[in-house]
Structure formats: structure tokens, C-alpha cells
Structure 1
Amino acid sequence: MKTFTASAALAAACLIGTLAPAAPAAAQSYEGQPVVELAFEGLKTLSEQTLRFYLGLEEGASVTAESLNAKVHLLWSRDLIDDITIATEAAPGGVSMRVAIVERPTLGAVEYQGLKRLQRSDINDRITRDAIRAREGDPLSEGELYRLKAAIEELYAEHGYRLAEAEYVVDEDLSGDKRVTFTVDEGDKVRIEDIDFEGNTVFSDGRLRWAMKKTKESGFVTKLLSKDVFEEAKFETDLDNVRTVYRKAGYKNLVIGDPKIEIKAMRPEAATSKEQQRRMVITVPVEEGQRWKLGEITIQGNEKFSDELLLGQFEKPKGGWLRSSVIDKGIEAVGEVYRNTGFLFARVDSELVERDGEVADLIVKVDEGDQYRVGRIEFQGNVKTKDKVIRRELGVQEGRILSSGALRNSILRIRQLEFFKINEDEPVAFDFDSEKKSVDLLLKGEEGSRTELLFGGGFSEVDGFFGQLQFRTRNFLGRGETVAVSLQSGRRQDVFDLSYSIPWWLDRPQNLGVQVFQRKLDYELLDGQNFFQDTKGGTLTYGRRLTLFTTLSASYTRFDSIDERSQFDGLNELVTQSFSRDVSTMRLLYGLDRRDSILTPTRGMRYQASVDYAGGVLGGSSNFVRPRAAFSLFKPVTSTRFTTVAAVNVETGFIEPFGGEDLFYNDRFYLGGESTLRGHRFRSIWVREKDGRTRVDQQGFPIGGDSFLQLNFEYQLLLGGPFRLLAFLDAANVFAKDQTISLEDLRRTSGFELRVNIAAFGAPLRFIWAQNLDAFADDRFDSFRFSVGAGF
């Protein structure tokens, strides 16, 4: 009897060595003989039919050593068995064969103990990514279990737990399947104590550490932002940032060696690892190399555009050095020239050719490709909004050459509409026709909140506590028109306001608006001084869109006003002054708005410049000219764990009377309130002398300014959903004509603000805590305020 054995204790190569040599010996007696008897032993979960299939054995079929050896290898590769023994002996008419196997056990259960910082789903995702065969139902493999152990420890290391250890034990359940239990000791998170550079002479360690945006030494802020924990992918990104610093200065051959990472105990004498306070020290070796100059720039492959036009996209680098920023911006600008003229698939590559004297010439290689035009433009998701309302905001048109820049601007412009929300993941679907050289565009989105019906109450700096009934639709009948009616009654202010605005009057890029209003305002300045104003009037506005984001408008406002102010004199008697006047004002306004959202911007800028002309040929009892300008900028700072946004706002203006008249007190500038200088009450910032004393008029009332300057700085933390947390610094003041506008004389406040954007209100709820950094004894200041209204 001849026996061939394969064991799971042997590698596949050993299997070949064990089984294959024995087969020729058996072949001397049984090669080509038919199998007359076939038996199987050791079957538990596998069926006899399965083994017959893999081994190719059937009664009556002839056997050869070569085919049997190949079939055993096939069965082995399926991870179904741990051992196999094939015994043969002569039998009447052929061969009798007995196949004995030991089945490979399967994983009946995989359990994890000690998981706190990770979820089981995190481990399952890593198992899928690395194709580890260690799920329930998979064959048991010590090699795969060890891979899973290493993957768990690697996953912890990526989250900063570099001391985490995973162990596993295998036992058998009642059904005979194997149960694997992984026990994890997570250890403590290892934070970065120090990041050092070796070999750097051009830039200091501090400058290079500053370039590393995602990997920082441990500190209060970096710990809060989880930037003091080593993560391989983020660290590699930061090393690229270090390379960028050098390449921007002309060091193109910088070499960064393998970083040295050490775990050191800050208190090695402590008994436990936690008390030892283990920290990470990273040492990064660099070889700076020589500084290179930029030589000649040549263009290759361009046919549609001249060398002069494309070379004009490159700035002259400062000092003539080979600055990567200049090259990258130039390459991108050349690509934009092509993409903005329909060459959507144009490729622009660059090559540096070194020559003597540390000079490198730049060769720009262009593959222009085909020029595409716009085919059809269609819209998806606009159930109520008419197609033309969205189409008219586009900077691209059917049949025209497709400009990628104009398409990007069009998407931004649609976002600003607010009532149609563009799809953030895939705003535009492209359908290219390579034969016609055209591309169909499908703009995707959904209807946003267009109608606001608000009945309730609230509190604001201007109004105090108030009741309100408001109706506003920003997309009336799906035509993009705005209709608004507002009724409000409060302790300080009563308002009736009715307005109607057409953004595309006569289907042209021009807007027309009309507004009628009545407002009663009652507020207090200094103790015992009250002001009352009752205003009735209306405004007519006509504007013209100059580009997608710029407008020029003219508005005429006419109102009648009754103004009263009262105070107690030295004899404690109430003295009241009453004025009745009519004001006729024309305002010219130029505006540029590239913010990604009107209500909740995260990027972009806005600029406005206006001039009010009152009286004169327009009539009325007030004669003045009042120019104003405002600039706001929003820029994302981080977008990792939380998105943060830096925002700045600058406003200024002055007023000048004419016709030999003095300014009416209510036409001057007063600041204070959540839209100007947070913490200070509404209109409580007036002109002061250098020593801080309030400047008053002949009747003892505070005087407003002939000019003002306002600065607002915010660092916004987007908490998810409608919530934003802001840290702010406000600086502003008003100035009399005999005073010089000075940054030193600005009143300052700082603090925090929580904003909750509720669509039904049309403006966010604002919870403001402020501190007065330049306090005077008679300041009207509130540390905490709640209000409803937009920021700058």
C-alpha cells in the first residue's frame, strides 16, 4: 500500500516536495489504473461530493500521479483542510483508494475586549481595506489572525495610541468551531513633546514647525484641536509642506531623510506608564542643497494661443530665484486660459532643465486637446422654481464655448439665491459628445426654504422685547421675486414694513423694488434722556447688474419724521424738544458680493460703496452728503475635525452738510449694538473728548459723529447643523469734525457669541457675551445680550 500525506504544518512548497515524489513510486504499479473502490474519512462539515469534485476522483476513472498532485494543490488552496492522507492498494480490476482528511476549523465568532477609543466598525473597515480573512465563517488561519492583531495596533497608532497592544486567544465552542477573542490594552495617547530638525540652516526650526499645519507640539490649543497626536498620513502631508517652504525659496533639491521617532518618559521613575507621561520626540533630518535661479521659460505644443500670451501668465520671481509658487501659479494660469476657452481636457506639464551655475530653465508642455461648446443646459430638482430663474443666473449659454471659470462662478451665484440649494457633492453632471465637440450640462439641486411665516416674539438690541408677525417669500410664484410684510410691536420700536422686489425686471439684468414703511423708535441714551422718532415714508429702487457678482443701484427715499428728545434739567423738571421734518434722499450704491452664502458665509468677500445725497434739488429739510464704504472677508482656516472660518469687516463713512445748514442730530453717526460694537447698547457710542468726557450740545445731549470707523474680527467654529461659536474682537468709534480718525481712539470689546441659524426666522438667533476693554464711567454696556439678526 502506498500513502501520500500533506499537512497544514508544512508550507505549500513542502506539500509539493512531500506529495509529488511519492506519486511516481505509486505509478509504477497503479499509474493509469481505474479506481474500483473509493472511501473518505474525517468528514464533518465537508461533503463527500465536495472532495470528489476537488480531487477529480470517481469510481471507474483512471488515476495518474500528475493529475492527483494538481488536484490536491487545488483543494489545499481553498483553505478547507489542514491535513490529507491518500492511501492506495491493489484491488481486483484496478485500485482501491482511501482519502483521510482533517478539516480546517472555521471562525465561529470573533470577539473584542477593551475597545474604548475605537469601534468594532473601525476594525471591520480595516479588515475590508486590507483584505484580512478573519471574519466569522472564514477558515481559521494563524497568519490572518496575526495580520488582524497588527492591523488593530496600527489603527490605534494612527489615532495617537502608539503604546496600544492587542493579543488574541483561540478556543473551541460547543459546535466545534473556533472562537477568537482579541484583548486590547489601549494604553495612553502619546502626545508630541518636541519636533526637531537637523541640518537646516536656511530656515529655523520654528519656521519649519509653523509650516506643519496638522502635526504640532503639544500645547493647550493643539491638544484641543488634536494636532499634537502623530498620524502617519498627516505627518507626510506636513513634510510636503516643509518641502514647499524650501521650494518656494528656490531650494528645489531638498532631501528629507527618514524621521527618527522616539518615545520618552518625562518621569521615568514613576511606577505606571500613565504616571511616566510618555511623550514623542520627532527628529527630521534635512539636506537643503543649493539655491537655484530660474532661467528661460519656453512653451511647447501651443497652437491656439501665442507664446507671448502664455508666457504672460508667469510672474517674475522675486530675486530671480526658482520659486515653486511662481511656477505652480503660472502653470495653473496657463491651464485656466485653455479651460476658460473650451479646451476642457488641455494638459499643461512642466519640466526643469538644469544648466551650469545653479540655473534651471522651465519648459512648459501643452497638449491642447479639443475645444468644447455648451450643448443643452437642464435642471434637476427645481419643482417650484422656474427654469429661467436659474438659467438667467448662469454665465454660460447653450451653443457658446464652455468656460470652466464661468461655470464655477455660475454655481456660486446660484448658491447665493438661497431658495434653490445646489447639490454640494455633484452640482453639475456632464455629458460629453466627442463627435460634436459639445457637452450637455445638468445642474442638480433641490428647493430651499423660500417662504417664511413667523409669528412670535423675541428680543433685540434695538427693539427690546417684541411681538412679531412676518411673512416673506424670496421666490414668489417661482419667479425669484421677493414679497415681504412685517408687523412688529415692542417696548422700544413699532414697525410696519411692506416691500416688493423684482430681481430681473422685464427679463433683463436689472432690479426694481418698492417699499413703504412706518417706524416708531423710543430709546434712552444717558440716564434721564429719552429719544422718540416716528417715521413714515417709502423707497423706490432701481438697479443694474454689471457682472454676475456686481451691481449698481439708485434708490430714492422720502419720509416724514417727528423727532422728540427730553431730559430733566437742573431743577429736575422735564424739558422736551420736538422737531418735524421731511427728508428726501437719493442713494447711489455699488456692490460686489462673492460670498458662498448670504446668511451663513464660510468663504468669499463683499464690498459696498454708497453715497447719500439729501436735500438740495430733491427738496426736504435736511441737506447733506453721506458717503460710506464697507468690506467683509470670509476665509476657511481649518476643515479637519471642525471647520473654522476667519472673518473680518471694515466700515467707514462721513457726513457733510451743505447749504449753510448744520446737521440734524439724528443724521449723525451713533454706534453700538450687535451689528457694530457688541456689548454697547444701541446708539450709545457718541463723540468723546480725549480724556473720555462725553461731548454734549447746548441742550446737554450727546453729540453723534461726523465720521466713523468700525473694525470687526471673528474666528468662527462651525459646530454642525445650524450652530456656530464665535470669538470676536470689535473696535469702533465716531469722530467729530475737529477730531482725527485714529486707531488708538477706537473703543474695543471682545467676547464670544453663539449663533443658531433658523430658516423660519430668516436670520440667526444670537447669544452674545462681551467684555468692555475700554470702559468709561457712563458707558451703557451689557455683558450678555440675546437678539435676532444677521452679522456683518
Structure 2
Amino acid sequence: MLQRISLLFVLTVISLSLFGQENLPEISYTAKPRKYVVAAIDVVGELNNDPKILANLSGLRVGQEVTIPGDDITAAIKKYWDYGLFSDVKIYAKKIEGRDVYLEIFLQERPRLSMLNYHGLKKAEIEAVDEKVAMIKGSQVTPYLLRRAEKFIKDHFVDKGFYNTEVNIVQRDDTSRVNHVILDVYVDKKEKVKISSLVFEGNEALTEGQLNRYMKKTNERRKIKNFFRTKKFVEENYRADLDKIIEKYNEKGYRDAYIVYDSISRNDDNTLNIKIRVEEGNQYYFGNITWVGNTIYPSEYLSFLLRIRKGDVFNQTLLDERLFTDDDAVQNEYLNNGYLFSRIIPVDLKIYNDTVDLEMRIYEGEQATINRVIINGNTKTHEHVVRRELRVKPGELFNKAAIVRTVRELAQLGHFDPEKINPVPIPDQDKGTVDIEFNLEEKPNDQIELSGGWGAGMFVGTLGLSFSNFSVRNITNLDAWKPLPSGDGQTLGLRAQTNGKYYQAYSINFVEPWLGGKKPNSLSVSLYYTLQTGISSRYGYYGYGYYDPYSYKGDDSRHIKVLGASLGLGRRLTWPDDWFTLYNELSYRQYDLKDWSFIGNFRNGKSHSIYLKTILSRNSIDNPLYTRSGSSFSLGVELTPPYSSFTGKDYSSITDEQELYEFIEYHKWTFKGAMFKPLDRANKFVVMSKIEGGFLGYYNDYLKSPFEKFTLGGDGMSGYSMYGSETVGLRGYENNSLTPYSFYEVDGERYSMADGNMYTKLTMELRYPFTLQPSATVYGLMFLEAGNAWSDFKGYNPFQMYRSAGLGVRIFLPMFGLLGIDWGYGFDTVPGRPEAAGSNFHFVMGQSF
């Protein structure tokens, strides 16, 4: 090609001389090369780029001396071809005057992409492939880009198990646009390549079944044990599984194990046979472990931290975990005390027979002091809100545990994506200092609840607003309203529920987590009002345990009203450890009843409840949205004054309900505990175990509170605070169906009353996340539950539980909070309510765990 172009250049010069340009020298193809000076360079053709830029690509310049014929023109043409952007290149000598030559470069640019069409793929596959191919409309279509697109498409489907995928890219002109083409990409995935047989040879210490389990993503088809596991063959996963086999052998002490060979043969039915031969070698054990270079900690203490004894099976994975990765690893003992630059190097000191002696060579170095703590990414939350949660401060010694704890505290705020909190130490060993950089990513955590539900013959609408990063001090600053003043970490909640005359509930609450701004002492204030009347759109009058479709239908003068307020103070404790918090609350609640027949024998009048609530809790969970590790325990007590002890009244003889219940008295105890444990190294599968219980006690047997009881069963969201009851969910059963009832007579009529004074509940869940993105956290779960409620200790039987099992899903959306649905199956028949057990669906809103 280059020779033909050079010949074209020479012939062009000759032709110019033949047309009477007398001042041009006579040039022939056999003439000797002569030197000319480039007087001008013009670029012509249908161009999309600046001709001056294209001229510069040639490497030629005006004033340059070139040899004709010679390498200068040839090199310029080669450069254009090397760029790969042109389909045709020609260089002409437009004119020669003496030693001056005027060059004209003709370029045909490669066509540009007008449209890209995929054939043979589904919509989701097209989106995935198109993202990887990344061919933008308007870009030049070059052979390289076509080869690249074909490779990316094939690689994409190979990763999916389609090893025989064929890709054919057809290029056709776009008649509506000059020098533009349409690409039609035809993809034939063929069938997935699956594994017909997987055979091991040479294995004695580990069975074939064990080796099959270690091959997580390489499994035989037509095996029941592999029903839920992938059977497709993916080269990358297969090689990773081979490494897992060796890793497992190493963990069993076979440190010399290796794969002798692995063979893969193809069958006519598009399946593969895999044969793997292993050489196990000998099993090794830990021998003597000595420490060298340690001056800070004695060898005995380091051996205690290592927790590996002479004679234990040699396990390289365990050794690495105990030295470096576990929370209480040896390396972390140094890192938690400032020795950032310390190193531990395990060395095989001696190998004899089946024993390995190790020498731990330690370089302790100097302690590192924190120089700066840098915070990035807090675009909404004010910096002082972040800094007050820091457990690391300038001037202190480096402490890895304090950094980990800081990450946990920042995640608990809820203002940042917990998966993206990234602390980065920036050490300066020469100065003996380190900067700690916390990289954060804000996530929206204000929530709106707008919902409606149908139940008990009525429609209830809900509107709730929760502002989790509110700022009271900026209320008067109009510039801070975007749309509300925010950034100080305060919580403001507003909520309203109603279906008209039958039911209404309104509440407002405010929480300041750092009262005064210097210590983590929280202030909580709440106000609420609820109303329920005797009106129902369908049933008329509703109470616990049954519906009465006839009595008092449409009588809105019958009601129960509850007005309440509370003031709470909480603080973090340092003993027994700094995971503990203590919360105290003083509350007042007024009950106003008129002809209300579902609160025992109290039907008319007003009751007042003044109580002090104290909750001692310990919370060490790592992530409030998808918890992987840690625990949460709380012990709470509510106490009212024991009025009956100092009024001097004989309550056994009082028949006036207003006098009897003017002031409510009780003592209420609750306990809740949950633990989380990851089951795999990726920390995805998590098991949650929970136990909870409560007891409502009385100071006087003749003055038992008709309020503050426990109702059990269902989704845990039914029942209203106006009754003063605490609703406890137990999936697999209808709402409130497991609550015991007592009966009483008034004027010869028999009534029922919920009478759950104590309960116990056990829960176990297995969770797995589907996505942990800031825009949505989604995880599935399977659960086992058991629980029951009783009226008194005499009937209490912790082995008499209503059992259930099921599965569900949770979705956390920043705007709406936690939403979910569960399907549960109750195994035990409920006396008097056989329909309450069996298959039940439950909706979840706003509950954590």
C-alpha cells in the first residue's frame, strides 16, 4: 500500500510537469531523489475535525525539507494508518515551484456510529452488555472497537456459563446521515455449559463429599445436594475453587498439598467431565513457638493472645487470623496501644518429621501519635456532629480499636451510608505521627410515612414525618431552610392517624442527642393524643376479642381519650463498659372514658397515670440497617407511686370506679436481648437470636391497673396506645390472638377484657442481604418463633409456647424507613380461635429487630 501511494505521489508530480508548468523540473519515476521545501499543507475530504489538527497528525510542517521520492512522505502516510481513524489516505503534490512543494492530503475518516442494535438478547441482557461495550453514538467505528465489543460480549456470557457464545457484528450505511453507519450485533448464546461429573483422585484425608462442598461454585448437575447451587462451569470460579481446596488442606495441617493435575473433557451433550488429582502430603503440627524482638509485652502474654498450643494441627489460616485479623489478634494488641509501625513476621524455624517450629520476629518501632483527624464527605451534617462521635483525637496515641468504634458510632447516627464509612490512616514514620482521614457519604434519612390500611371494619390513614438530622438553632435562619433547617443531628417527628370519627391519633416528639453539646446526654420530649369512639363504618362497636354489630351503632358519644406527655434524659455510661446507656423518663397519661366497656370494670371517668421509666441497655451492634455482629440488651422498669400504701383507703370495699381508678398504680418490668453472628467469611449470612419478656405487677390486689398490659400475636403493629397496652408481635398467628382474656359482669351482662400481664417470646432468624446500596437496603430472612402470654404467675408455663416458622423480606428506603412483609405459619391451635393459626401474612413498618 505504501509503495503504491509513493508511486502515486511521483506520477502526480510527473503529470503536473506535462501540463506545461515550465518552471518545474522534469521528474521521472527513475529520477534521483531530490530535496524540496514544504511551502503549504492542505487537508481535504469529508472531515469532522479541524483540518489544521489533522495536518499536524502527519508529522509534516511548513518549511520542512523533504526528499522526493523518500521516506518523509511514506512516514506521514504510515502515521495516519497507525491512528486507525481513517479508511483512505492519499498525499498529492499539488504544485511545485522551484524547490517549494505544495502538498495536499486527502483523508477519508472512518464512519461514525449512528445506532447500535442487539439481536437475540433480552432487555436486561442488552442493558448489561451495552454498559460493558460502551460504544457511544457519534464515536468512530474502528476495527479495534469492533473486536473489543465482540470480546466484551463473549466474556460477559462466558462468565454466565455460555462458553459457546457466537457474536456477529454487521455494519451497514445509515442513508439518512453522511459517513454514519448502523451496527447490528447478532448474539447466539447457545446453551450453558454445565458439569456432568466431578471426580477426585488421590484424596484420603478429605472425603470426596468434603471436597465437593469446598468447591462452592463448581458443582455436578443432577445431584440433590446441589439443588440450590450453581452447576454451570465458569473458568474463573473453577480456578478459585481449586485454590479453596488447597486452602482447606492447609487448614487441616497438609501444608504440602497441591493439585497434581486437573483435566476437563467435553461431552456431546454440551457438558463437561472434570477430574482432579491431589497430592495431600503429610499432616503437620505446631511445635515450639518462640518470640524474638518483643520488649513491650512478655512472650508468655503474646503466646496467651495467640491461643495456639504445641501439638495443635498446623493451620495457616488460623495462624494468620490470630496474628493479624481477629479483633483480639496479637498485632491488634500493638496497634491498640500506638504501635502503628510494628510488624510481626512468622518464620519457619525448623521442620522435622511432622512438626513445625515457628519463630515470631517482632519489630515494635515507636508509638505513633495522631496529628490530624480529617473528615470528608459530610455535605449536610455539620462537622461538630461528626467530631463529637470520634473516639480518636489529635495528640492521642494511635488506637485501631478506637477507630473501629468510631466507625460504629458514625454508622449509628444514621446520617451516613454505613457501608461507605472508610477510615484511612496516613502515617509519617519519620515524624512518628499519623493522620486519620474519615471518608463519609451522606445518605438521606428523613422519612415520610403516607399509608392507609383496612382492618376491624375501618380504613385508617396515616401521615408521618420524621426529620432525623434537624437543627433547632437554625429555625430563625431562613437561609438554612433547605427545605428544613438540618445538620445538627436532632430528631423531630410528627405523626397523625385517623379514619374520621372512629379513631384519631396525633403525636409529636423531639430528641436532642447531645444536650448542651459537650456530653452525650440526650433529651427527649413527646406529646400525644388519641381518641376512639363507638362509631365504625361496618361493625358499630369494636372491642378486644369480638365485634358487636348491633350495640350502640353510630353512638359517637361513647369514647376513650388518651392525652400524654413525657420528658426523658439519657446518658452513656462508662461502667461496666462504655457500651451501656441509662435512660430515665417521667411521663404523665390521662385516660378519659365514657361508657367504654372494654377496660375491665372501668367504664366511665378519668384516670391519671404518673410513672417513672428507667431503661438500662447495652448496644454493640455494628450496623443498624443490616446488623452482622454485636448484641443489644435492655432491662426496663416502669413504676408509679404506690398510692394504695399511703391513702389509707380500703380498696376492697370501693365500688365507685372513678374513685377506684382515679390514679393508676403498677410496676412493669421488661427484658429484651438480641445477638448477631455472621456465618460466613463474607459476613453475608447472619443469624439473629432474640429473647424477650415482660411482667406487669401490682402493689394491691384490689387495685389492679386495667391498662399497660401485653397483647401478643401477629405483626406487632396492631392495637392502639390509647389502651395503654404494649403490642408484641408473633408471626404465624392473627393479631392479638394469643392474648389471654378475663371475663366480668356488669348489670348482668358478661364482658371480656384483654388480661396479658406477662409474656415470653423467642425468635431466631437467618438473614441474607440482596443489596446494601445507599438508595435501598434489602435482605431476606427465614425465622422460627415461639411465645405465649399469661394472666398471672400461677398459669405461667415457659414450655407452653405457640410455635411458628416462615420467611420474609425487609426493604429500607431512606424516604420511607423500614418496610417489610412476612409469611408465617402457626403450628399450634389457639383455644377458642382455631382460625388464628396456620398461614398468615404480616406487614412490617418501622420495626428494627
Q: TM-score surpassing 0.5? A: yes
Contact 1:462 1:673 (C-alpha < 8 Å) held by counterparts = no
- Is 1:160 the counterpart of 2:161? The answer is yes
Distance 1:234 1:734 in 2: 48
- Going from structure 1 to structure 2, the CA distance change for 1:302 and 1:181 (only over 3 Å counts) comes to farther
Structure 1 counterpart of 2:25: none
* Aligned-pair CA distance for 1:596: 4.8
Distance 2:171 2:461 in 1: 70
Out of 546, 555, 571, which is 2:585 matched to? Answer: 555
- Going from structure 1 to structure 2, the CA distance change for 1:468 and 1:343 (only over 3 Å counts) comes to same
Structure 2 counterpart of 1:685: 738
* Aligned-pair CA distance for 1:137: 4.2
* Aligned-pair CA distance for 1:677: 1.8
- Going from structure 1 to structure 2, the CA distance change for 1:654 and 1:315 (only over 3 Å counts) comes to same
Where 1:551 maps in the other structure, the secondary structure is: strand
- Going from structure 1 to structure 2, the CA distance change for 1:469 and 1:441 (only over 3 Å counts) comes to same
Q: Please tell me the residue identity of whatever aligns with 2:162.
A: Y
Contact 1:585 1:615 (C-alpha < 8 Å) held by counterparts = yes
Distance 1:462 1:403 in 2: 57
Where 1:238 maps in the other structure, the secondary structure is: helix
Q: Please tell me the residue identity of whatever aligns with 1:508.
A: K
Q: 1:630-659 CA deviation, whole Å, 9 max, x = no partner?
A: 2153748698xxx96545241322426354
Contact 2:286 2:310 (C-alpha < 8 Å) held by counterparts = no
Structure 1 segments unaligned to the other structure (5+ residues): 7-32, 39-43, 82-104, 129-134, 266-275, 569-573, 688-693
Out of 251, 254, 278, which is 2:254 matched to? Answer: 251
Distance 1:740 1:391 in 2: 50
Contact 2:259 2:279 (C-alpha < 8 Å) held by counterparts = yes
Distance 2:602 2:582 in 1: 42
Q: How does 1:357-396 map to 2 (within 5 A)?
A: 357-383=353-379, 385-396=381-392
Structure 2 counterpart of 1:733: 787
Structure 1 counterpart of 2:413: 417
Structure 1 counterpart of 2:204: 201
Contact 1:748 1:772 (C-alpha < 8 Å) held by counterparts = yes
Q: 1:119-147 CA deviation, whole Å, 9 max, x = no partner?
A: 6996996999xxxxxx954699xxx97x9
Q: 1:433-485 CA deviation, whole Å, 9 max, x = no partner?
A: 4543323344343554465566x542388997434454443332433233334
Distance 1:501 1:52 in 2: 74
Distance 2:843 2:181 in 1: 62
Contact 1:705 1:734 (C-alpha < 8 Å) held by counterparts = no
Contact 1:462 1:682 (C-alpha < 8 Å) held by counterparts = no
Structure 1 counterpart of 2:525: 514
- Going from structure 1 to structure 2, the CA distance change for 1:589 and 1:279 (only over 3 Å counts) comes to farther
* Aligned-pair CA distance for 1:173: 14
- Is 1:748 the counterpart of 2:778? The answer is no
Distance 2:182 2:545 in 1: 80
Q: 1:324-369 CA deviation, whole Å, 9 max, x = no partner?
A: 3431222111222233233334333322344333011122233445
* Aligned-pair CA distance for 1:697: 7.7
Out of 477, 487, 490, which is 1:481 matched to? Answer: 490
Out of 693, 707, 713, which is 1:672 matched to? Answer: 713
Structure 1 counterpart of 2:669: 626
Distance 1:457 1:149 in 2: 49
Where 2:360 maps in the other structure, the secondary structure is: strand
- Is 1:713 the counterpart of 2:765? The answer is yes
- Going from structure 1 to structure 2, the CA distance change for 1:514 and 1:154 (only over 3 Å counts) comes to closer
Where 1:655 maps in the other structure, the secondary structure is: strand
* Aligned-pair CA distance for 1:321: 1.7
559-568 or 296-305, which deviates more: 559-568
- Is 1:264 the counterpart of 2:272? The answer is no
Where 1:336 maps in the other structure, the secondary structure is: helix
Structure 2 counterpart of 1:545: 572
- Going from structure 1 to structure 2, the CA distance change for 1:364 and 1:459 (only over 3 Å counts) comes to farther
Contact 2:621 2:629 (C-alpha < 8 Å) held by counterparts = yes
* Aligned-pair CA distance for 1:771: 3.9
Aligned length: 694
Distance 2:385 2:79 in 1: 67
Contact 1:463 1:493 (C-alpha < 8 Å) held by counterparts = no
Distance 2:804 2:144 in 1: 70
Distance 1:521 1:550 in 2: 39
Q: 1:75-131 CA deviation, whole Å, 9 max, x = no partner?
A: 9997999xxxxxxxxxxxxxxxxxxxxxxx998799998663876996996999xxx
What is the alpha-carbon root mean square deviation over aligned residues? Answer: 5.4
Where 2:255 maps in the other structure, the secondary structure is: coil
Distance 1:629 1:590 in 2: 11
Distance 1:463 1:633 in 2: 40
Where 1:320 maps in the other structure, the secondary structure is: coil
Q: 1:205-237 CA deviation, whole Å, 9 max, x = no partner?
A: 332322333334447999998833222222233
Distance 1:463 1:403 in 2: 59
Where 1:234 maps in the other structure, the secondary structure is: helix
Q: 1:35-56 CA deviation, whole Å, 9 max, x = no partner?
A: 5699xxxxx9999x97999xx9
Distance 1:402 1:214 in 2: 41
Q: Percentage identity across aligned positions? A: 19
Where 2:587 maps in the other structure, the secondary structure is: strand
* Aligned-pair CA distance for 1:373: 1.8
Out of 297, 313, 317, which is 2:289 matched to? Answer: 297
* Aligned-pair CA distance for 1:610: 0.9
Q: Please tell me the residue identity of whatever aligns with 1:330.
A: R
Where 2:406 maps in the other structure, the secondary structure is: helix
Q: Please tell me the residue identity of whatever aligns with 2:584.
A: A
* Aligned-pair CA distance for 1:399: 1.0
* Aligned-pair CA distance for 1:580: 6.1
- Going from structure 1 to structure 2, the CA distance change for 1:263 and 1:701 (only over 3 Å counts) comes to farther
Distance 1:112 1:469 in 2: 47
Structure 2 counterpart of 1:611: 636
TM-score between the two structures when normalised by the length of structure 1: 0.71
Contact 1:413 1:549 (C-alpha < 8 Å) held by counterparts = no
Structure 2 counterpart of 1:269: none
Q: How does 1:240-639 map to 2 (within 5 A)?
A: 240-265=243-268, 276=269, 278-316=270-308, 320-332=312-324, 333-383=329-379, 385-418=381-414, 420-421=415-416, 425=420, 427-428=422-423, 431-445=426-440, 447-449=442-444, 451=446, 456-459=450-453, 465-474=459-468, 475-477=470-472, 478-490=487-499, 493-506=503-516, 507-520=518-531, 524-528=543-547, 534-546=561-573, 549-561=579-591, 566=597, 581-598=607-624, 600-615=625-640, 621-633=664-676, 635=678
Contact 2:715 2:843 (C-alpha < 8 Å) held by counterparts = no
* Aligned-pair CA distance for 1:388: 2.0
* Aligned-pair CA distance for 1:297: 1.4
* Aligned-pair CA distance for 1:540: 3.1
Contact 1:751 1:771 (C-alpha < 8 Å) held by counterparts = no
Distance 1:732 1:772 in 2: 9
Contact 2:673 2:690 (C-alpha < 8 Å) held by counterparts = yes
255-264 or 327-336, which deviates more: 255-264
Where 2:710 maps in the other structure, the secondary structure is: coil
Q: Please tell me the residue identity of whatever aligns with 1:161.
A: F
Contact 2:810 2:820 (C-alpha < 8 Å) held by counterparts = yes
Distance 1:310 1:709 in 2: 43
Distance 2:768 2:409 in 1: 23
Distance 1:261 1:34 in 2: 64
Distance 2:627 2:454 in 1: 25
Contact 1:635 1:646 (C-alpha < 8 Å) held by counterparts = yes
Structure 2 segments unaligned to the other structure (5+ residues): 5-30, 37-43, 46-53, 87-107, 473-486, 534-541, 552-557, 645-662, 717-728
